[in-house]
């Protein structure tokens, strides 16, 4: 057998095993043997680059080639469905269909309504050629590279099955509960924000620019609609056929012949959906016969032959044990209901938000009340009602606290706001922690060598007590030897940043130091001034050009700037007048942070005449920031590696093909740290 034939044979075998594992849940070989076949194919493909195929199983891992998604027009518009929340409207739908098609002349296909995001897959002669999101229904984003990493989606339909040459099939991409939980654990461990629910996570993932991220997150897909022409007369049969072609089609579709059949289906799944591995938010009813579908036709936005019935949000009743109060980074105090554990939409719930003081009053919440809790698609459960009939006779109303549970300072309510705030901005621990977390966050100084967990830990240990302390860490660590190594702080610094952890210590210091190049507008945002979000920070930075000019500005001058209202102006003036703010600003200035807009983009000639390729993922700066840095220092950004490339600025997880190319052309790799040192 020639290597070329072996490649084709391996591809076909691997597609079959992939299907057995991810669609049928019935693997026929061990993981180890699967890996062996995969390795063999990888090796052969490396030796025979002329045989490259984006639909090979080896491409399921994704690649680091990032590009913006191209907008592509849908061949068949992607419509949505008419929604209803009540059975009465289901009956109306049924009766309308019956009056148009005739009693006993039609059947209805009942399906689960999967809660993810819709996708359209296009196959030509059995090969996946394109995957589009819904977009505005007329055109969607081309997410083919990402979709290729979803293992339950066939890349190539099996030979010998009678799939049409041109096939468009639609369905839902989703993240199973188990993968969702794993993902959020990883996010939490990395100090990154959690996803609110599996749908948001699936949608964020599918729109990720790095297909390796997608491959890692284990998306899944169910297919439920074929808009392209089909030989079979019914929707149900067409989907059973699609299952033969390798698609994951739900086993829970049923054909109903009466309204009662439909109600039975709804009743069954309203309960049973709790046991499914993926999120569903209703059921979909479709007239089964394809010609009848055509006859019923479409309104502007939805088919007249289908309707979605949405399940009511799950709700549980449980006794309230205690109301506690949480202080956030802005000092806002949120009341939380602590309840007897209760099962709700797949998880055990013990705590639910009560939002604010007014909400507690509206609920007329009393101590010892039984409360109704809902998740309504979100992770955070909320109390939505009180069962007054179960109230103990002498129960007292729940009252809002008057002082901060963390620092004891009095609370206050600002005009027009629902939240109560702790007034001790200067020394209330969660507020300080929150400010530091905000300061290091991605959109602010982007010091991701210090996630929010580390910040919180260093604060609790007493190593940092405010933002300015970040910039003395390296020096204090260096001094924490000899005699100082025996002081409590010295010991802690050695323990956190020295010894075997020295590498991560050095990384943390470098991450902090890299913030000298963060532009002024982001430094301003990072300060965490009330009402000064990213947009306002940019407006202020562009208008006043420097922190000194901003500090001189009066409320009046501030409100003259377009986009700055009185509340913002007042907040900025107040913040900048505080001695602790002024002290922080001089600490940051001394540390070398940008306190004014850069006038000249040209910083140095350090990279003059050098052609540089950026590849991989980075810790200290984003790709865009590196591109800007290269140009500011006289260098040239190039996108592909050639003999003329001076070096590659190589981050983590650089793609193997780029690595090979660099090696074969003898182009050196430069790490992030080495690069920053050059500047
Ligand atoms: S059929 C022309 N079937 O619900 C009809 N849609 O609210 C095409 N969905 O955009 C859609 N499960 O993203 C259909 N079994 C199912 C579905 C389903 C989930 C989603 C789909 C659609 C939305 C409409």
- Average pLDDT score over residue span 480-500: 80
148 vs 503, residue with greater confidence = 148
pLDDT above 70: percentage of residues in the chain: 97
- Nearest-angstrom CA–CA distance, 599 and 541: 12
Residue of 651, 655, 647 whose CA lies nearest to 673: 651
Q: Which pLDDT tens digit goes with each residue over 71-118? A: 899 999 999 899 898 899 999 999 999 999 999 999 999 999 999 999
- Among 284, 301, 309, the mutation site with the greatest number of ligand 1 atoms within 8 A of its Cβ is 284
Three-state DSSP class for 435?
Answer: helix
Tens-digit pLDDT profile for residues 19-56: 998 888 888 888 888 889 999 999 999 999 999 999 99
Across the range 252-270, mean pLDDT stands at 96
- The response to whether residue 309 sits with its C-beta less than 6 Å from ligand 1 reads no
Going from the Cα of 306 to the center of ligand 1, the distance in angstroms, rounded, reads 9
Polymer length of the chain: 679
Higher pLDDT, 237 or 639: 237
Residue 650: predicted pLDDT: 93
Distance CA 436, CA 459 (A): 9
Of the candidates 352, 224, 241, the one whose C-alpha atom is nearest the C-alpha of residue 280 is 224
* Rounded-to-integer distance, Cα 436 and Cα 43, Å: 48
**521 three-class SS:** helix
Give the closest residue to 377 by CA, choosing from 353, 346, 354. 346
The closest of 216, 223, 225, 176 to 199, measured between CA atoms, is 176
Which of the four pLDDT bands, split at 50, 70 and 90, describes residue 584? Answer: very high
Higher pLDDT, 483 or 353: 353
Q: Whose CA is nearest to atom 17 of ligand 1?
A: 113
Kindly state if the Cβ of 113 falls inside 6 Å of ligand 1.
yes
Average pLDDT of the chain is: 91
pTM above 0.85, yes or no: no
Q: How far apart are CA 64 and CA 59, in angstroms?
A: 12
CA nearest ligand 1 atom 1, residue: 225
The residues, any chain, with a CB within 8 Å of residue 223's CB and separated by 6 or more, are 121, 169, 170, 171, 239, 242, 247, 248, 249
* Per-residue pLDDT at 671 exceeds 80: yes
Phi and psi torsions of 195, nearest 5°: -85, 140
Q: Is 284 in the pocket of ligand 1 (CB under 6 A)?
A: yes
Which of these is catalytic: 32, 39, 113, 286?
A: 113
Q: What is the pLDDT of residue 66?
A: 58
Question: Is 67 a residue whose pLDDT tops 70?
Answer: no
Query: How high is the pLDDT of residue 600?
Result: 53
Mean pLDDT for the stretch of residues 397-419: 93
What's the pLDDT at 501?
54
Q: Is the CB of 171 under 6 A from ligand 1?
A: no
pLDDT at residue 375 tops 90: no
Cβ–ligand 1 contact at 80 (below 6 Å): yes
Mean pLDDT of 157-178: 94
* The predicted structure's pLDDT at residue 562: 83
Average pLDDT over residues 366-387: 86
How far is Cα 365 from Cα 361, in angstroms, rounded to an integer?
A: 7
Q: How far away, in angstroms, is 114 Cα from ligand 1 center?
A: 8
Q: Indicate the SS3 state at residue 307.
A: strand
The answer, yes or no, to whether any atom of ligand 1 lies below 6 A from the CB of 81, is yes
Give CA–CA dist 366/392, Å, rounded. 9
Q: What percent of the chain has pLDDT over 90?
A: 64
Closest ligand 1 atom, CA of 113?
12
Ligand 1 centre and the CA of 152: distance in Å? 19
| Catalytic annotation present for 113 | yes
Closest alpha carbon to 399 in 420, 414, 385, 416 = 420
The span from the CA of 557 to the CA of 417, in Å, is: 26
pLDDT at 488 exceeding the cut of 90: no
Q: What is the largest CA-CA distance in the chain?
A: 94
Q: How far away, in angstroms, is 62 Cα from ligand 1 center?
A: 27
Q: Is the CB of 77 under 6 A from ligand 1?
A: no
**For position 157, what pLDDT does the model report?**
95
Question: What's the average model confidence in pLDDT over 183-201?
Answer: 81
What pLDDT, in 10s, does the model give residues 426-445? 899 999 999 999 999 989 99
Kindly tell me if the per-residue pLDDT of 378 is higher than 80: no
Q: Is the CB of 283 under 6 A from ligand 1?
A: no
Q: Report the separation in Å between the CA atom of 79 and the middle of ligand 1, taken as the mean of its atom positions.
A: 8
pLDDT for 329? 83
In this prediction, residue 377 carries a pLDDT of 55
* DSSP conformational letter for 157: P
Dist. CA 572 → ligand 1 center (Å): 48
Q: How far apart are the first and last CA of the chain?
A: 55
250 lines ligand 1 (CB under 6 A): no
Q: What integer pLDDT is reported at residue 500 of this predicted model?
A: 62
| Ligand 1 neighbourhood includes 306 CB (under 6 angstroms) | yes
Residue 225 in contact with ligand 1 by CB distance below 6 A: yes
Q: Take atom 13 of ligand 1 and give the residue whose Cα is closest.
A: 118
Contact 649, 670 (CB under 8 A): yes
- Regarding the beta carbon of 94 and ligand 1, being less than 6 Å apart is answered no
Which of 76, 172, 255 is the pocket-test mutation for ligand 1 (most atoms within 8 Å of CB)? 172
Give kind and range of the element (H or E) at residue 386: strand 382-386
Return the structure tokens found at 496. Answer: 């956190």
Q: Whose CA is nearest to atom 22 of ligand 1?
A: 80
Comparison of pLDDT for 600 and 645, the residue scoring more: 645
CA-proximal residue: ligand 1, atom 21 (nearest): 118
Hey, is 474 helix, strand or coil?
Answer: helix
Distance CA 169, CA 137 (A): 15
Q: To the nearest 10°, report the CA torsion of 275, 277, 283, 284.
A: -150
Ligand 1 mean position to 69 CA, how many Å?
A: 23
Collapsed DSSP state (helix, strand, coil) of residue 352: strand
Distance 527 CA to ligand 1 centre (A): 45
CB of residue 455 inside a 6 A radius of ligand 1: no
CA 305–ligand 1 middle distance (angstroms): 13
Which residue's CA is the closest to the ligand 1 atom numbered 15?
113
Question: Which of the pair, 631 or 205, is modelled with greater confidence?
Answer: 205
pLDDT of 346: 65
Give the span between the Cα atoms of 121 and 78, in whole angstroms.
12
300 vs 75, 80, 138, 140, 617, CA distance in Å? 17, 10, 12, 18, 45
- pLDDT score recorded for residue 280: 93
Q: Which long-range contacts (CB under 8 A, 24 or more apart) does 333-340 make?
A: 333/401, 333/404, 333/405, 333/411, 333/419, 333/420, 333/421, 333/422, 334/419, 335/359, 335/360, 335/400, 337/371, 337/373, 337/383, 339/371, 339/373
User: C-alpha angle with apex 68: 66 to 69, nearest 5 degrees?
Assistant: 115
Residue 147 to residue 214: CA distance in whole angstroms: 8
- Out of 77, 80, 81, 279, give the residue to mutate to test ligand 1, the one with the largest number of ligand atoms within 8 Å of its CB: 81
């Amino acid at each position: 057998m020639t290597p070329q034939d072996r490649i084709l044979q391996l591809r076909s075998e691997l597609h079959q095993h992939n299907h057995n594992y991810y669609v049928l849940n019935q693997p026929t070989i061990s993981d180890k043997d699967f890996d062996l076949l995969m390795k063999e194919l990888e090796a052969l493909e490396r030796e025979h680059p002329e045989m490259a195929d984006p639909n090979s199983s080896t491409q399921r891992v994704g690649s680091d080639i990032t590009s913006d998604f191209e907008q592509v027009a849908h061949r068949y518009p992607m419509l949505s469905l008419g929604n209803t929340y009540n059975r009465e409207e289901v009956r109306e739908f049924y009766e309308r269909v019956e009056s148009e098609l005739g009693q006993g002349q039609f059947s209805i296909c009942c399906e689960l309504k999967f809660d993810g995001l819709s996708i359209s897959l296009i196959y030509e002669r059995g090969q996946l050629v394109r995957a589009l999101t819904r977009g505005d229904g007329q055109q969607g984003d081309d997410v083919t590279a990402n979709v290729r990493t979803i293992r339950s989606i066939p890349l190539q339909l099996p030979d010998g099955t009678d799939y049409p040459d041109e096939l468009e099939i639609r369905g839902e991409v989703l993240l199973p509960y188990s993968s969702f939980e794993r993902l959020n654990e990883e996010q939490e461990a990395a100090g990154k924000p959690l996803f609110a629910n599996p749908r948001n996570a699936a949608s964020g993932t599918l729109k990720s620019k790095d297909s390796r991220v997608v491959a890692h997150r284990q998306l899944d897909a169910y297919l439920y609609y074929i808009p392209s022409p089909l030989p079979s007369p019914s929707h149900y049969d067409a989907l059973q056929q699609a299952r033969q072609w390798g698609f994951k089609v739900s086993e829970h579709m049923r054909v109903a012949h009466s309204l009662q059949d439909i109600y039975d289906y709804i009743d069954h799944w309203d309960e049973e959906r709790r046991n499914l591995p993926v999120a569903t938010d209703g059921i979909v009813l479709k007239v089964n016969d394809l010609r009848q579908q055509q006859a019923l036709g479409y309104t502007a936005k939805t088919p007249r032959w289908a309707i979605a019935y949405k399940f009511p949000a799950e709700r549980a009743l449980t006794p309230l044990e205690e109301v506690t109060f949480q202080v956030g980074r802005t000092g806002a105090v949120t009341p939380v209901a602590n309840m007897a554990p209760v099962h709700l939409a797949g998880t055990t719930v013990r705590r639910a938000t009560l939002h604010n003081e007014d909400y507690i009053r509206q609920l007329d919440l009393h101590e010892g009340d039984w409360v109704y809790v809902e998740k309504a698609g979100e992770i955070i459960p909320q109390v939505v009602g009180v069962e007054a009939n179960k109230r103990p006779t002498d129960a007292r109303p729940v009252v809002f606290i008057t002082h901060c549970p963390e620092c004891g300072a009095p609370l206050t309510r600002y005009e027009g706001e629902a939240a109560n705030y702790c007034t001790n901005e200067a020394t209330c621990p969660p507020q300080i922690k929150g400010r530091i977390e905000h300061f290091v966050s991605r959109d602010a100084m982007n010091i991701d060598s210090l996630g929010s967990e580390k910040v919180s830990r260093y604060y609790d240990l007493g190593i940092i007590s405010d933002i300015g302390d970040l910039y003395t860490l390296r020096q204090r660590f260096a001094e924490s030897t000899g005699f100082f190594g025996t002081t409590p702080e010295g010991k802690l610094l050695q323990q956190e940043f020295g010894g075997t952890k020295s590498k991560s210590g050095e990384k943390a210091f470098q991450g902090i130091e890299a913030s000298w190049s963060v532009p002024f507008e982001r430094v301003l945002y990072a300060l965490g001034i009330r009402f000064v979000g990213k947009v306002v920070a940019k407006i202020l930075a562009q208008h006043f050009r420097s922190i000194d000019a901003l500090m001189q500005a009066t409320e009046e001058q501030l409100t003259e700037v377009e986009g700055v209202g009185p509340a913002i102006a007042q907040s900025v003036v107040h913040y900048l007048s505080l001695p602790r703010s002024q002290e922080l600003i001089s600490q940051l200035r001394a540390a070398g942070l940008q306190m004014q807009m850069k006038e000249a983009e040209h910083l140095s000639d350090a990279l003059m005449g050098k052609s540089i390729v950026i590849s991989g993922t980075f810790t200290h700066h984003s790709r865009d920031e590196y591109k800007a840095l290269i140009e500011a220092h006289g260098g040239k950004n190039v996108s592909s590696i050639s003999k003329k490339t001076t070096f590659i600025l190589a981050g983590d997880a650089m793609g193997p093909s780029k690595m090979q190319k660099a090696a074969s052309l003898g182009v050196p790799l430069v790490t992030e740290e080495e690069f920053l040192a050059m500047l």
